[in-house]
Amino acid sequence: MFFHYLLLFLALPYCSSADTITPNQPIRDGDVLVSPAASFALGFFSPGNSTLRYVGLWFNNVSEKTVVWVLNRDLPINDTSGVLSVSSTGNLVLYHRHTPIWSTNVSILSVNATVAQLLDTGNLVLFERESRRVLWQGFDYPTDTMLPNMKLGVDRRTGLNRFLSSWKSPEDPGTGDYSFKIDVNGSPQFFLCKGTDRLWRTGPWNGLRWSGVPEMINTFIFHINFLNTPDEASVIYTLHNSSFFSRLMVDGSGHVQRKTWHESGHQWMGFWSAPKDDCDNYGRCGPYGSCNANSAPNFECTCLPGFQPKSPSDWYLRDGSAGCVRKAGAKLCGSGEGFVKVRSVKIPDTSEARVEMSMGMEACREECLRNCNCSGYTSANVSGGESGCVSWHGVLMDTRDYTEGGQDLFVRVDAAVLAENTERPKGILQKKWLLAILVIVGAVLLFFIVSLACRFIRKKRKDKARQRGLEISFISSSSLFQGSPAAKKHDESRRNSELQFFDLGTIAAATRNFSFANKLGQGGFGPVYKGQLPSGQEIAVKRLSSTSRQGTEEFKNEVSLIAKLQHRNLVRLLGCCIEGGEKMLIYEYLPNKSLDFCIFDETKRSLLDWKKRFEIILGIARGILYLHQDSRLRIIHRDLKASNVLLDAEMNAKISDFGMARIFGGDQIEGNTSRVVGTYGYMSPEYAMEGQFSIKSDVYSFGILLLEIITGRKNSTYYEDNSSQNLVGHVWKLWREDRALDVIDPSMEKTYPADEVLRCIQIGLLCVQECATDRPTMLTIIFMLGNNSTLPSPQQPAFVIKTTSSQGVSSVNEVTVSMVEAR
């Protein structure tokens, strides 16, 4: 950004009366400001048949007046009294009848030391006279048009998001329904939206072009430069020949267009437009579907290899929106699966994809193959060969075929589909080798069947050995058991198990015999110790105490569950120790401990600025989404709280403690229990009072976490002005009074973007609504966190009244609750 402004400073010519605005030299309705080389003009105008007045920018040398930027698009003036001037405070101000209705509103130290100037790029800039430092520029606030040298995208440091939005109508330049903005999640890409609905996407930048815009490449006319760094994700294009006039715009009909001016025809000619056909419509063929516009007049939707239509009847009626599902019986984990290359496509939506730019394609394939949740991969950069890795661990959405200009996508399939898609010899060669191929295929199939049978038998033996190991652990506490045949079987089961088993002696040595100096914390399950293995690896040891409420079943649950989970926002389980009456879990060591250790400490939370808190919020949300949707089985955590969110060296959030989690399969999203477990204050009302839990129970807990992160206060905190209110009730009260900013942690010292924090507060209140059906899903929450879409108004939260208890029975919201086992 510094170099961007530096180039801007150097481009500033010396001021002249024709292109500048000063306190003594304003422009009034009827005046026109012209850039130094007369490329652009700025002044008051009325669009179409409207009589309202706006300050607009247009091409000065184009015979068809084309307005490309509007200063007061949503603040029109109803007469010709408008004046644009630099005020006594140094800001650029628009006046209507001597009353300011718009201002740049920037902090300026030196009064009467600023000048506004229209540059030949079309950028209106406010800068200091002496230092020539830019204070404000119109290019940071585009309307419906992108000009050469203008950036679109997000400044990750400041949160500034430059995007296009359509006019309401040819007579009204106000902010319309359609927008074109970047989504920085996963591999960044631009989306055309109507409100919050996605209509079309560019796909990610692949080094040559946007994956979904094969015709939009660098040409002799213009050059495109895409930046994706820790500081920003943005695109800018420049013209090779300044005599050309070009613009990219979002029109009121819901299209993104690039146009160039042809002086010979005295008109704008369309160079490219999207969406241009049905296959450009976002999600036209649904999950795991692919769209081919060249198949017309036949139905353009097909399923990716290994998939079949989810609803054949809808498919027959040419409605592919339901998409495709994996073919029945497919085995995709350690069963001879592989990848089928789908050539020349617009790769699927990368909003939730993982990107590793340093990884080659072979390593990308191997990594995807190892992870059973990986559904496909492709190259991140196709310029000058293939490099970088983009992988999907969930749905493949919005894929389409191209005749040219696309890139190859590798889709995970089972062994049967892989064999079907293996290329075979053709013609005479095929006939000659047909018998040999049949023999080879038969031998391979026989070997495959035998291998599967052996693998199945080994797996059954391992399962029995692991179960026997857990049972023997209780017997082994007796001195009579030492050296017995059962102990030897136990040792053998540990060696054969897929999960790494540690000896008690190894863990005792690693933790200095569980010394107090190595103790990290204490939970309802028992203490946690820091340790170091002989290899030098640091570990965290969760030692189940003899009086722990996490019994053998919960321990088995946590071991079996976490071993299957692989996600950057979930804590990684290294192994366990079951010996001498001890049950211990060995995790990766996370140096910054748990979230509650940081966020509820007066000193430590001052080190967490809003950017880091927002990243923690996103990390928790992505981890929960993985549990709810993207893992092989649907998982409800049931005990989400600040102490169960751990922080690594970079303060990335990792969800831990799966002892209370429940596993669901298929489309099951809720359950019922007579034993309510969890932590009071984070439990949803339907779970605490009726034992009903669902993915919306975790959403409720996430909402509590979100509000705690914003405020730096525990939900159990009560307030002097109303001692019956906990944190949720306090936030709800101030939200209704339009004073929600009062709840923000004062240690952030107002260094946060108020709009973004208010948005997060509103999302938190949506999560803690009393009715579970009113709460959004985690997928919707992540979308709301990453987009500036309009949010619904939250309803009455649950548990906003302080709980009073007597004789073990708690009254919450006037409903009696019993049998609550809270930790």
Q: What is the pLDDT of residue 151?
A: 95
527-553: pLDDT as tens digits: 889 999 988 899 999 887 665 555 666
618 close to 608: Cβ distance less than 8 angstroms:
no
- Nearest residue to 596 (alpha-carbon basis) of 725, 677, 708, 746: 708
Average confidence (pLDDT) over 505-523: 87
Mean pLDDT computed over every residue of the chain = 82
Q: 729 by DSSP, 3-state: which?
A: helix
Confidence grade of residue 710 (pLDDT, cut at 50, 70, 90): very high
Instruction: Supply the angle between the helices 695-711 and 754-767 in degrees, to the nearest 10.
Output: 140
Confidence grade of residue 490 (pLDDT, cut at 50, 70, 90): very low
360-390: pLDDT as tens digits: 999 999 999 999 999 999 999 988 778 899 9
Q: Is the pLDDT of residue 732 over 60?
A: yes
Long-range contacts of 719-727 (CB under 8 A, 24+ apart): 723/802, 724/801, 724/802, 725/800, 725/801, 725/802, 726/681, 726/799, 726/800, 726/802
Q: What is the pLDDT of residue 496?
A: 37
- Nearest residue to 62 (alpha-carbon basis) of 48, 41, 47: 41
Residue 709 corresponds to which amino acid?
I
Q: Which residue has the tokens 């045949």?
A: 485
Q: What is the pLDDT of residue 687?
A: 76
Q: Write the CA distances from 38 to 13, 61, 62, 136, 514, integer angstroms.
A: 13, 7, 11, 22, 78
Q: What is the pLDDT of residue 646?
A: 92
Q: What is the pLDDT of residue 222?
A: 74
Q: What is the pLDDT of residue 272?
A: 84
456-475: pLDDT as tens digits: 777 656 544 444 444 333 32
Tell me the percentage of the chain whose pLDDT exceeds 70.
Answer: 81
Choose from 273-282, 687-696, 805-814 the range with maximum mean pLDDT: 273-282
Q: Is the pLDDT of residue 822 over 60?
A: no
Confidence grade of residue 120 (pLDDT, cut at 50, 70, 90): very high
CB burial readout 752-764, b (16+ within 10 A) else e: beeeebbbbbbbb
Cβ-Cβ contacts under 8 Å for 44 (sequence gap 6 or more): 29, 30, 31, 53, 54, 55, 56, 77, 80, 82
CATH number of 142-273: 2.90.10
Instruction: Give phi and psi for 565, each to the nearest 5.
Output: -95, 130
Confidence grade of residue 484 (pLDDT, cut at 50, 70, 90): very low
Q: What is the pLDDT of residue 821?
A: 35
Residue 380 corresponds to which amino acid?
A
Between residues 487 and 135, the one the model is more confident about = 135
CATH number 2.30.30.60 given to 595-822 = no
Largest CA distance in the chain: 102
84 close to 2: Cβ distance less than 8 angstroms:
no
The enclosing H or E element of 655 equals strand 653-655
Considering the domain 1-141, what is its CATH architecture? Orthogonal Prism (2.90)
Q: How far apart are CA 76 and CA 51, in angstroms?
A: 10
Average confidence (pLDDT) over 335-357: 95
Instruction: Give the count of beta carbons closer than 10 Å to the beta carbon of residue 108.
Output: 17
431-457: pLDDT as tens digits: 555 667 777 877 778 877 877 877 777
Q: What is the pLDDT of residue 602?
A: 82
CATH number of 500-588: 3.30.200.20
Q: Is the pLDDT of residue 281 over 80?
A: yes
Q: Write the CA distances from 328 to 61, 123, 306, 703, integer angstroms.
A: 64, 58, 9, 37
Catalytic residue list: 639
Instruction: Supply the angle between the helices 610-625 and 778-786 in degrees, to the nearest 10.
Output: 150
Q: What is the pLDDT of residue 439?
A: 75
Q: Is the pLDDT of residue 517 over 50?
A: yes
Q: What is the pLDDT of residue 719?
A: 56
Q: What is the pLDDT of residue 707?
A: 95
Q: What is the pLDDT of residue 489?
A: 38
Average confidence (pLDDT) over 209-215: 88
Average confidence (pLDDT) over 610-628: 93
Average confidence (pLDDT) over 315-320: 87
Q: What is the pLDDT of residue 666?
A: 47
Written in H, E and C, the secondary structure of 128-192 is ECCCCCEEEEHHHCCCCEECCCCCEEEECCCCCEECEEEEEECCEEEEEEEEEEEECCCCCEEEE
Q: Is the pLDDT of residue 781 over 70?
A: yes
The answer, as to whether pTM is greater than 0.75, is no
Cβ-Cβ contacts under 8 Å for 29 (sequence gap 6 or more): 44, 53, 77, 80, 81, 82, 83
Q: Where along the chain do its domains lie?
A: 1-141, 142-273, 280-420, 500-588, 595-822
Q: Is the pLDDT of residue 20 over 90?
A: yes
Q: What is the pLDDT of residue 112?
A: 65
222-228 and 197-204: which strand pairing?
Answer: unpaired
Q: What is the pLDDT of residue 381?
A: 92
Q: How far apart are CA 570 and CA 554, in angstroms?
A: 18
Cβ-Cβ contacts under 8 Å for 431 (sequence gap 6 or more): none
Average confidence (pLDDT) over 320-330: 93
Average confidence (pLDDT) over 31-56: 95
Q: Is the pLDDT of residue 668 over 70?
A: no
CATH topology of 1-141 equal to that of 142-273? yes
- Nearest residue to 382 (alpha-carbon basis) of 335, 346, 354: 346
